[in-house]
Amino acid sequence: MGLGGCIILIAVGAILTFATDWHASGVNVDVVGLILMAVGIIGVAVFTSVLRRRRVVPGATTTVVEEDRRGPLM
């Protein structure tokens, strides 16, 4: 799940929690919305921590080796 999916989960959860007053038997829509928002926030946190790890390049050094191909000098 990418960053866009996490943001959609947060938005859908917020809509279910704050913008609806549906009543379903056996299901608390407010709790479902809170769970979706929590999963979305956790997903954003995991995604950004993984993205941060990918960008860090420890010990990125370049070794330049020069060779003299002219042969022995006289």
Q: Whats the size of the chain, residue-wise?
A: 74
Please count the CA atoms within 13 angstroms of the CA of 9 that sit on its side-chain side. Answer: 18
Q: Which residues of 31-60 are buried (b: 16+ CB within 10 A; e: fewer)?
A: eebeebbeebeebbeebeeeeeeeeeeeee
Q: Which residue has the higher pLDDT, 3 or 53?
A: 3
- pLDDT for position 64: 72
- Has residue 44 got a pLDDT over 90? yes
pTM of the model: 0.66
Per-residue pLDDT reduced to its tens digit, 17-33:
999 988 888 999 999 99
């954003």: which residue's tokens? 44
- Has residue 63 got a pLDDT over 80? no
